[in-house]
Amino acid sequence: MATTQHHILSVVVENKAGVLARVSGLFARRGYNIFSLAVAPTDDPKFSRITVVVDVESTPLEQVTKQLFKLISVIKITELHPDEAVERELMLLTVKAEGTTRGQVIELVQVFEGKIVDVGHDELTVMLAGSPAKLDDYEELMRPFGIVELQRSGRVALPKLDRQSPKLRSVTGRTA
Amino acid sequence: MEMNGGQALIKSLEMEGVEVMFGLPGGAILPVYDPIIDSPIRHILVRHEQGAGHMAEGYAHATGRPGVAMVTSGPAATNIVTPLCDAYMDSVPIVVITGQVPSTAIGTDAFQECDTTGITRSVTKHNELVTRAEDIPRVIREAFHIATTGRPGPVLVDIPKDIVDPKNPNSRMDWYWPTDRELSDGLPGYKPTTRGHPRMIKEAARYILESKRPVIYAGGGILKARAADALRELAELTGIHVVTTLMARGAFPDDHPLCLGMPGMHGNYTAVTSMQNADLLIALGSRFDDRVTGKVSAFAPDAKIIHVDIDPAELGKVRRPDVPIVGDCRLVIEEIVKAVRELGGLEAQPDRGEWKSRVSGWQEKYPLTYEQTFDDGGPLKPQFVLEHLRDSAPEDCIVVSGVGQHQMWTSQYWRFRHPYTWVNSGGLGTMGFAVPAAIGAKVGRPDRMVWAVDGDGCFQMTAQELVTATAERIPIKVAILNNAYLGMVRQWQEMFYDERYSEVYLSPDLPDYKLWAEAMGCVGMRVETPEEVQSAIDKANEIDDRPVVIDFRTDSSEKVYPMVPAGLSNDEIVVDPSQGEGGH
Considering CB atoms only, which of A17, A29, A66 is closest to B312?
A66
Q: Is A71–B189 a contact, with Cβ atoms under 8 angstroms apart?
A: yes
Which helix (DSSP H) or strand (DSSP E) does residue B385 occupy?
Answer: helix B382-392
d(CA A75, CA A13): 5
Scan residues 131-160 of A and list those with Cβ closer than 8 Å to B.
none
Q: What residues of B act catalytically?
A: 49, 111-112, 161, 488
Chain A: give the shortest CA distance to residue B315, in Å: 8
Question: In chain A, what residues touch B204 (CB-CB under 8 Å)?
Answer: none
What separation, in Å, do the N-terminal and C-terminal C-alpha atoms of chain A show?
24
Scan residues 110-139 of B and list those with Cβ closer than 8 Å to A.
117-118, 121-122, 125-126, 129
In contact, B392 and B534? CB cutoff 8 Å: yes
Which residue of chain A has the CA closest to B200? A176
Sign of the four-CA dihedral B51, B52, B55, B61: negative
- Chain A contact for B210 (CB, 8 A cutoff): no
Whole-number pLDDT of residue B535: 98
Chain B: give the shortest CA distance to residue A39, in Å: 18
Chain B: give the shortest CA distance to residue A106, in Å: 47
Q: Are residues A69 and A108 in the same domain?
A: no
Give pTM, 2 decimals: 0.94
- Chain B contact for A161 (CB, 8 A cutoff): no
Q: Is B188–A75 a contact, with Cβ atoms under 8 angstroms apart?
A: yes
For residue A171, tell me if it sits in a domain.
no
Please give the C-alpha separations between residue B142 and each of A18, B86, B127, B164, B551, in angstroms, as whole numbers. 17, 21, 10, 19, 44
Chain A: give the shortest CA distance to residue B154, in Å: 13
The angle formed by the CA atoms of residues B116, B430 and B570, to the nearest 5 degrees, is: 130
Which residue of chain B has the CA closest to A75? B189
Q: Is B121–A72 a contact, with Cβ atoms under 8 angstroms apart?
A: no
- Chain B contact for A174 (CB, 8 A cutoff): yes
Which residue of chain B has the CA closest to A74? B189
Question: In chain A, what residues touch B125 (CB-CB under 8 Å)?
Answer: 70, 72
For residue A165, tell me if it sits in a domain.
no
Q: Is B326–A71 a contact, with Cβ atoms under 8 angstroms apart?
A: no
The arithmetic mean of pLDDT across residues A47-70, rounded, is 90
For residue A173, tell me if it sits in a domain.
no
**Domain of A10?**
5-80
Q: What is the 3-state secondary structure (H, E, C) of chain A?
A: CCCCEEEEEEEEEECCCCHHHHHHHHHHCCCCCEEEEEEEECCCCCEEEEEEEEEECHHHHHHHHHHHHHCCCEEEEEEECHHHEEEEEEEEEEEECCHHHHHHHHHHHHHCCCEEEEECCCEEEEEEEECHHHHHHHHHHHHHHCEEEEEECCCEEEECHHHCCCCCEEECCCCC
- Chain B contact for A45 (CB, 8 A cutoff): no
Task: Provide the domain count of chain A.
Answer: 2
- Chain A contact for B388 (CB, 8 A cutoff): no
Q: Is B193–A174 a contact, with Cβ atoms under 8 angstroms apart?
A: yes
For residue A139, tell me if it sits in a domain.
yes
Question: In chain B, what residues touch A17 (CB-CB under 8 Å)?
Answer: 129
Whole-number pLDDT of residue A176: 34
Considering CB atoms only, which of A25, A173, A175 is closest to B192?
A173
Q: Is A21–B324 a contact, with Cβ atoms under 8 angstroms apart?
A: no
In contact, B4 and B34? CB cutoff 8 Å: no
The class that CATH gives domain B198-365 is alpha beta
In contact, B250 and B419? CB cutoff 8 Å: yes
Q: Is A13–B117 a contact, with Cβ atoms under 8 angstroms apart?
A: no
State the Rg of chain A over Cα: 19
Chain B: give the shortest CA distance to residue A28, in Å: 11
Chain A: give the shortest CA distance to residue B38, in Å: 34
In contact, B178 and B186? CB cutoff 8 Å: yes
pLDDT confidence bin for A4, thresholds 50/70/90: low
In contact, B558 and B386? CB cutoff 8 Å: no
Mutate to test the interface with B, among A72, A73, A77, A171 (most CBs of B within 10 A): A72
Whole-number pLDDT of residue B346: 78
- Helix/strand/coil for B155: strand
Q: Does domain B382-561 have CATH number 2.40.70.10?
A: no
Considering CB atoms only, which of B193, B316, B317 is closest to A173?
B193
Chain A: give the shortest CA distance to residue B188, in Å: 6
Mean pLDDT by 10 residues, chain B (584 residues): 97 98 98 97 98 98 98 98 98 98 97 98 97 98 98 98 97 98 96 97 97 98 98 97 98 98 97 98 98 97 98 96 98 98 87 97 97 87 98 98 98 98 98 98 98 98 98 98 98 97 97 98 97 97 98 97 96 93 57
Q: Is B103 left (phi over 0), alpha (psi -120 to 50) or beta?
A: alpha
Which domain CATH number covers A121? 3.30.70.1150
Q: Which of the 8 DSSP states describes residue B454?
A: E
Considering CB atoms only, which of B187, B316, B324 is closest to A72?
B187
Q: Is A173–B197 a contact, with Cβ atoms under 8 angstroms apart?
A: no
Whole-number pLDDT of residue A84: 85
Please give the C-alpha separations between residue B439 and each of A94, B93, B181, B525, B551, in angstroms, as whole numbers. 67, 17, 37, 19, 18
Which residue of chain B has the CA closest to A11? B189
What separation, in Å, do the N-terminal and C-terminal C-alpha atoms of chain B show?
73
- In chain B, what are the domain boundaries? 2-186, 198-365, 382-561
For residue A20, tell me if it sits in a domain.
yes
Q: Does domain B2-186 have CATH number 3.40.50.970?
A: yes
Which helix (DSSP H) or strand (DSSP E) does residue B58 occupy?
Answer: helix B49-63
Q: Give backbone dihedrals phi and psi of B58, rounded to 5 degrees, phi first.
A: -60, -40
Q: Per-residue pLDDT tens for A129-167?
A: 999 999 999 999 999 999 999 999 999 999 888 755 555
Whole-number pLDDT of residue A61: 87
Whole-number pLDDT of residue A166: 52
Q: Are residues A136 and A75 in the same domain?
A: no
Question: In chain A, what residues touch B324 (CB-CB under 8 Å)?
Answer: 175-176
Please give the C-alpha separations between residue B467 and each of B22, B288, B398, B448, in angstroms, as whole numbers. 14, 39, 21, 20
For residue A168, tell me if it sits in a domain.
no
Q: Per-residue pLDDT tens for B118-143?
A: 999 999 999 999 999 999 999 999 99
Q: Is B188–A14 a contact, with Cβ atoms under 8 angstroms apart?
A: yes
Whole-number pLDDT of residue A162: 72
Length of chain B: 584
The arithmetic mean of pLDDT across residues A26-35, rounded, is 88
List the beta bridge partners of residue B434.
none
Whole-number pLDDT of residue A1: 40
pLDDT at A173 exceeding the cut of 50: no
Scan residues 16-35 of A and list those with Cβ closer than 8 Å to B.
17-18, 21-22, 25, 29
Q: Is A175–B324 a contact, with Cβ atoms under 8 angstroms apart?
A: yes
Last residue of a domain, one of A57, A80, A103: A80
Question: In chain B, what residues touch A173 (CB-CB under 8 Å)?
Answer: 191-193, 312, 326
Chain A: give the shortest CA distance to residue B8, in Å: 23
List the beta bridge partners of residue B155.
B95, B126
Q: Is B197–A176 a contact, with Cβ atoms under 8 angstroms apart?
A: yes
Last residue of a domain, one of A13, A47, A80: A80
Cα B542 to the center of its chain, rounded Å? 27
Q: Are residues A70 and A33 in the same domain?
A: yes
- Helix/strand/coil for B419: coil
Burial (CB count <10 Å: 0-12, 13-18, 19+), residue B394: exposed
Q: Is B312–A75 a contact, with Cβ atoms under 8 angstroms apart?
A: no
Question: In chain B, what residues touch A13 (CB-CB under 8 Å)?
Answer: 189
Which residue of chain B has the CA closest to A73? B189
- Chain A contact for B187 (CB, 8 A cutoff): yes
Which domain CATH number covers A18? 3.30.70.260
In contact, B98 and B161? CB cutoff 8 Å: no
Q: Is A174–B326 a contact, with Cβ atoms under 8 angstroms apart?
A: yes
Please give the C-alpha separations between residue B221 and each of A79, B327, B411, in angstroms, as whole numbers. 30, 11, 18
Whole-number pLDDT of residue A6: 83
Give the DSSP letter string of B77-96: HHHTHHHHHHHHHTT--EEE
d(CA B272, CA B261): 9
